[in-house]
Structure 1
Amino acid sequence: MRFHIITAALMWLGYVESRKIRGISSSYKRFYKERKSFLCIDGSKIIPFEQVNDDYCDCEDGSDEPGTSACPRGRFYCTNLGFRPHYIPSSRVNDGICDCCDASDEYNSHAHCQNTCWNLGQRERAYVEGQMRTLDEGLRLKQQLIEEGVLLWREKQAQLRELQQVAEDLQIKLEEHRRKKHEADRLKEQTLKTLEAGDSGVRHQDSTVTSTFQLLDSNKDGSITVNELQAKVALIHDEERPLSEGEAVALLEGSHQMNLTKFQHTLWNILTKGDSLKIKDTHDTPDSLVIEDPHLMAADRAAKWEATNLKKVEEAYDTVNMEISDLRKKLAIDYGPDWEFLFLNSQCYTLKVYEYTYTLCPFNQVTQKSTAGTEVSLGRWGMWVGTPKNQYSQMVYENGEPCWQGGSRSATVTLTCGTETALRSVKEPSKCQYIMDFQTPVACQPVLKQRGIHSEL
């Protein structure tokens, strides 16, 4: 009796196994419950259930043959317990090649397939765990960079306010120095006009006589000699010919030297007329030497001093305004909702690929340098071009140097999550169009932690 029961049970299990519908996922099992008839999943035809997986294609959508290669558009579902499940074309079923890691696609072939799903799953789980650790560390570093970005943003805002205050103070100083310079120039002009009009009287004349005498007295011994006169004085109508010794002695009233008092009453008058003699290296008569007047000299020094001070203040004012302009441009860039990308500003990252060295300076430019030393611009900072869900996942750098085929070079930089900030790869999929992989913690997104291995693992 017991023998008959065991035999019946084995026969029933064999029948059930023979009717097992292969190549379907758990979500499709409801369509393959054994009954008298089978409705094609696209609703196009009803066939006897015995014709399911009978190696003949009856349904246009191939749903009656999920476990055979009979239907050209059929799909076979690899369960791959322990790894990721996936579909393969039904044409690969029982073709002697193991496509499913659980070997379920070669259930009726001569292929000897081993179940490798567990090993594959282990490797993938280790990879995912490593990715999760990287993500956790990246998010931790990102939080630090966000905090640093906020502080840096505040510092730059404070720096901008300080520079603006300095610019305002310099503006006041600039106006004050311009006023002082104008007054100094006006005083110098008035002094010069007074001297030219002769309103300085004897004092001006005496000052001019003394200045001229000192100009001729080269060795400053208080007297003019024949040699000094020959060296300093020339004939107006024959400047190239030096005075002869006799001519010089005659001008010195027959003597070989002359003091200031005698000069004032003799030679000064001859020089003042300016019709026969002139002092060398000057363009006019001694009346043009009014610059030697102490009052005019003081006014001239004051004008030059104010001009120098004004120039210094103007240079400082221009420098501060340039710094303000540069800082405003930097602050106008979108550094992310929490200014997390701000730390990248003023930084550069390089990567050598074969004979070229690529340099990415975020928010500035991208360059390519050959081993010969030639540097080419691949583009300047343009904008963020990420997806609507993650706007800050891609940068574009535009208007680089012209390409020999026409158009300008450009570079698209994709930001990926990592525990370090570095340029990882550079490719040129089309001529003069570059794509770069740039890894940084600030590219890490918490939503990535929701990803993982399929629930059937």
Structure 2
Amino acid sequence: MAKEYHPQSLRRTMIKSTVGTVRRTTYDLPDTKNPNHVYGYEIQRDPENAGQVISKWVQAVPSPAAKSGRSFIETNRQAIMNGYLSAGEARKFANEHPDIVVKPAAKCKGGFVPTNDMTYGIKSKVSEDIWGLVQARHTSFSNDNADYPDLSTMKTKGKLPQPRETQCSLGKDVRNHPKVAERELFKMSKFKAVGATLCTQPNAISARRREEEEERRRYAGEDDYDSLASARASSAVQIRGVAPAEQAKYLASEFSCVVGGKASSLPPSRLNDEFCDCDDGQDEPGTAACSHLLTSAFHCENGGFFPGKIHTSRIHDGICDCCDGSDEDVGVCPDTCAAAAEKFRKEAEQRLEVVKKGFEKRQAAIRGEVASFFEGEKEFETTTEKALAGLKLLKERVTVHKDREELKERKYRMELARQKQAEGHDPAGDQGQETSKQQFSHATEKEAVEALEFEGLDAIRVAEDDVPVNSAEDVKASEVLDSRRQAVKSLVELPDGTKIPLADYLRMNHNKQAPTKKLRAPRTVEQMRREDFLGPLFNGGAEGRKKIGLYALRTIGIISSPFRALVEIVLFSPRTLWDVLSTKEIAGSAIAKLPDFPSPSRSVWFRQLGGGSVYDGYSSVMWGARIIWDAPIYAYQYLFPKLDEVVKLPVAESLRKVLREIESDISTLEKERNEKRETAKMDYGPDRAYFALKDKCIEKRIEKYEYKFCPFDEVKQDRTKLGKWDGWAVDEANDSSSNGENGKAGYTKMRFAKGQRCWKGPERSVLVHLDCGEDNEILSLDEPSTCVYEMTVSTPLACTAQVLAKAQKDVAFWSREH
């Protein structure tokens, strides 16, 4: 029948076996004031453990009721209830009643005796027992004794009785050490070799063994003792808790280590003797004597399947840490290494199947979309460069023709503006002027150009000033258009309204193209006499004399333009002041109420004066004065006419549209070429396999958030950006296993940085771990620190040949016989 252990003895965190102060005499030892020197006796063990002692040994004694302090609030309340309303009356009432307190003391029943079954204070939760209170609330791991709870923070209100004697002291260890013989563990003569520290049961055993060795030394002599120690070391098969590779070091005649800060040599008898001699605990690999040191370790062979080391505090603790049970007494723990190996073998076989399927998908992706992209990269580059060269040639030729047509268009606009200016100063009347404005403002572009009919335009000069066109370059550009699969869609509109493709337009002979409008016939001698030089004055009749008069008046106006400039300067301030005063906010309403004095020139009596001759003379003088006064403005507008942008030639407008389409095609091709170049330059890992994840996203909902992982782009949590692509992370812990050498990326971790900044915190960042799996899936997400995330993603692209070889090696390892 297997030995049964108390549930508490199976816990890792232990309770110190001494509670309170154990006293056997009525006087204190001489050195009791020195806390570093402890005297004690061996106490017989019994089944009572430390937990039972804590839960049973204290008797509850009720504390006396505390006297409540005086309450001024209660005093004022009672004063108001008794009719003392003013402050003086309330103060008088308080002086007369000094015994009003917060709460009267509760009176206990006479002869009441408390029992241990009663609950005092605040009752703990049902699920929170004494072990949870001690381990969770009163355990401090700040000292070296990390395995023992610190009960210094426990405080109890009230008066407790003196601790009773207990037999649960040094002799009882919850880790179930073997029972030792009943004898005194300490003798006053042996305290010379014991440091100023509390000696627990294992060290007490080592003291007894040390005593036996000293007795052997006295009887056998020094030489015989050394020979006995060497014979013992040579006969030992192995040292418990030591790895096979280190057995030779422990089986030597002397064991070297650091004792008290000095290099020392220990005989084999000092190994595993339940006494911690070395500073690093190497002399006690098979006992818990050095369990207070972090470097003290016990080697578990585990049947050769998965050898490893555990801390010596886990030896003889009632828990089977090693699968072969070597950390406990013989027969306590069954050997479960074979069963564990079988479990690992099945898991390794399942893992191998997943890796094989992922590896096949990875190879298919490399042979498929990855190969098609990178193998066609050079062909795409050549085709794109050729297409760009053809489009740039087209752009150059279209630009030449556009500039040529825009020159014509500007000349048309200039002549049109001058003609409109001349009609605007026609003295024939306002009706003709309004008709002219309406004609040029509401007519369509084509009608506006045709309305000129080259009247007043030197069409021959316009045609001769055209920029010469290189016909050979045009033919070459047209061939480029014919060779392109997708030609320019926009058509070129000729002056007669015909729309033709760009290729046909380029093949036309633009150098010998005749004007599209029929020019005027050659002038006769009579026409030249009436129109040239002073012909209008002598041979042009009344109309010619008016034209000569206009020229003369405008010449006078230009000569006298400095006088007008002076008048404008003088009248600038009054006009500005009048305009300001005329505003509605200042004096506009008052000025509007002033009587309106009609102009004498508009009155009926003035028009009838002298039978109308006076009015006609006045009108002619005012017309001449206006011509002279406006002559500088007329000259400026003639030299710098305001062009009408609405008037457009169809050929120039269609060529501009064609040019915009060509520039758009060039921009699109250049963007595609640059994007492909940048894509090809990125690092996609071995065999460029991770290119298959480019421009793809993996989404999964974890708890209340929707996570979106886009390789080589970004990671998002709902609408919050956790990070942007920042390259591959270097696996510093295991570079060789992940193909990382000398700080190079291992292609198992993706780094995303510069995400959305946390509130009062850093920018978010994500480290994505890529694990071999059959499908692309987000497995988990964690936030180890504020705004720093770690995501695990499975993908078949991580199933490399190295991962497959490791999976096969694991299956072979767990399948072999041990």
Normalised to the residue count of structure 1, the TM-score between the two structures is 0.68
What is the rounded CA distance, in whole Å, between the counterparts of 1:154 and 1:308 in structure 2? 38
**1:387-445 alpha-carbon deviations (Å, 9 max, x no partner):** 35431222222222232224432222222222322222222222322221122233234
Q: Contact conserved, 1:150 with 1:338, CA < 8 A, in 2? A: no
What is the rounded CA distance, in whole Å, between the counterparts of 1:284 and 1:62 in structure 2? 108
Query: CA 1:305 to 1:125, structure 2 compared with 1: closer, same or farther past 3 Å?
Result: same
Q: Contact conserved, 2:774 with 2:795, CA < 8 A, in 1? A: yes
**Percent of paired sites with the same residue:** 29
Query: CA 1:284 to 1:75, structure 2 compared with 1: closer, same or farther past 3 Å?
Result: closer
**Alignment pair present for 1:313 and 2:532:** no
Residue aligning to 1:242? none
Structure 2 counterpart of 1:101, one-letter code: C
What is the rounded CA distance, in whole Å, between the counterparts of 2:655 and 2:367 in structure 1? 49
Q: Contact conserved, 1:31 with 1:41, CA < 8 A, in 2? A: no
Residue aligning to 1:22? 240
**1:88-129 alpha-carbon deviations (Å, 9 max, x no partner):** 222322222222222222116xx8422222111111122223
Q: Which aligned pairs between 1:5-44 and structure 2 lie closer than 5 A?
A: 21-33=239-251, 38-40=254-256, 44=264
Indicate which of 296, 300, 308 corresponds to 1:78: 300
**Alignment pair present for 1:185 and 2:406:** yes
Residue aligning to 2:449? 291
Indicate which of 337, 354, 362 corresponds to 1:134: 354
Query: CA 1:131 to 1:285, structure 2 compared with 1: closer, same or farther past 3 Å?
Result: closer
Structure 1 counterpart of 2:684, one-letter code: Y
Residue aligning to 2:774? 419
Structure 1 or 2, whichever has the larger Rg, is: 2
Query: CA 1:456 to 1:100, structure 2 compared with 1: closer, same or farther past 3 Å?
Result: farther
Residue aligning to 1:65? 284
Residue aligning to 2:386? 165
Q: Which aligned pairs between 1:45-444 and structure 2 lie closer than 5 A?
A: 45-47=265-267, 49-72=268-291, 73=293, 74-81=296-303, 83-107=305-329, 112-148=332-368, 149-191=370-412, 273=428, 275-277=430-432, 278-279=434-435, 282=438, 290-293=448-451, 298=496, 300-369=649-718, 375-387=719-731, 389-390=739-740, 391=745, 392-444=747-799
Query: CA 1:164 to 1:287, structure 2 compared with 1: closer, same or farther past 3 Å?
Result: closer
User: How far apart are 1:21 and its partner, in Å?
Assistant: 3.7
Q: Contact conserved, 1:383 with 1:396, CA < 8 A, in 2? A: yes
Q: Contact conserved, 1:68 with 1:93, CA < 8 A, in 2? A: yes
DSSP-derived class of the 1:380 partner: strand
Structure 1 residue runs without a partner (length 5+): 1-15, 199-235, 237-270, 370-374
Residue aligning to 2:123? none
Query: CA 1:274 to 1:420, structure 2 compared with 1: closer, same or farther past 3 Å?
Result: farther
User: How far apart are 1:357 and its partner, in Å?
Assistant: 0.9
Q: Contact conserved, 2:416 with 2:452, CA < 8 A, in 1? A: no
Query: CA 1:75 to 1:399, structure 2 compared with 1: closer, same or farther past 3 Å?
Result: closer
Q: Contact conserved, 2:770 with 2:793, CA < 8 A, in 1? A: yes
What is the rounded CA distance, in whole Å, between the counterparts of 1:20 and 1:347 in structure 2? 59
Query: CA 1:53 to 1:447, structure 2 compared with 1: closer, same or farther past 3 Å?
Result: same
Q: Contact conserved, 1:178 with 1:310, CA < 8 A, in 2? A: yes
Structure 2 counterpart of 1:94, one-letter code: H
Structure 1 counterpart of 2:247, one-letter code: K
Q: Contact conserved, 1:420 with 1:441, CA < 8 A, in 2? A: yes
Q: Contact conserved, 1:44 with 1:60, CA < 8 A, in 2? A: no
What is the rounded CA distance, in whole Å, between the counterparts of 2:413 and 2:282 in structure 1? 111
How many matched pairs?
Answer: 361
Residue aligning to 2:158? none
User: How far apart are 1:45 and its partner, in Å?
Assistant: 2.0
Structure 2 counterpart of 1:186, one-letter code: L
User: How far apart are 1:352 and its partner, in Å?
Assistant: 1.0
Structure 2 counterpart of 1:184, one-letter code: E
Bigger strand share: 1
Structure 1 counterpart of 2:356, one-letter code: D
DSSP-derived class of the 2:778 partner: strand
Q: Contact conserved, 1:377 with 1:401, CA < 8 A, in 2? A: yes
Structure 2 counterpart of 1:304, one-letter code: E
**1:275-333 alpha-carbon deviations (Å, 9 max, x no partner):** 33433982769999752348786482222221222222222222222222322222221
What is the rounded CA distance, in whole Å, between the counterparts of 1:345 and 1:150 in structure 2? 14
Residue aligning to 1:13? none
What is the rounded CA distance, in whole Å, between the counterparts of 1:89 and 1:286 in structure 2? 100
Residue aligning to 2:554? none
Normalised to the residue count of structure 2, the TM-score between the two structures is 0.40
Residue aligning to 1:228? none
**1:163-192 alpha-carbon deviations (Å, 9 max, x no partner):** 332222211111122122222222334455
What is the rounded CA distance, in whole Å, between the counterparts of 1:341 and 1:304 in structure 2? 50
Query: CA 1:397 to 1:272, structure 2 compared with 1: closer, same or farther past 3 Å?
Result: farther
Structure 2 counterpart of 1:169, one-letter code: G
DSSP-derived class of the 1:183 partner: helix
User: How far apart are 1:348 and its partner, in Å?
Assistant: 0.9
Query: CA 1:425 to 1:156, structure 2 compared with 1: closer, same or farther past 3 Å?
Result: farther
Query: CA 1:71 to 1:367, structure 2 compared with 1: closer, same or farther past 3 Å?
Result: closer
Structure 2 counterpart of 1:116, one-letter code: T
Structure 2 counterpart of 1:276, one-letter code: Q
What is the rounded CA distance, in whole Å, between the counterparts of 1:442 and 1:285 in structure 2? 69
Q: Contact conserved, 2:238 with 2:247, CA < 8 A, in 1? A: no
What is the rounded CA distance, in whole Å, between the counterparts of 2:668 and 2:407 in structure 1? 29
Structure 1 counterpart of 2:402, one-letter code: K
Q: Contact conserved, 1:81 with 1:456, CA < 8 A, in 2? A: no
Residue aligning to 1:223? none
Q: Contact conserved, 1:82 with 1:456, CA < 8 A, in 2? A: no
**1:234-276 alpha-carbon deviations (Å, 9 max, x no partner):** xx9xxxxxxxxxxxxxxxxxxxxxxxxxxxxxxxxxx994533
What is the rounded CA distance, in whole Å, between the counterparts of 1:347 and 1:26 in structure 2? 52
Root-mean-square deviation over aligned CA pairs:
3.6
Query: Which one has more relative contact order, counting CA pairs under 8 Å at least 6 apart?
Result: 1
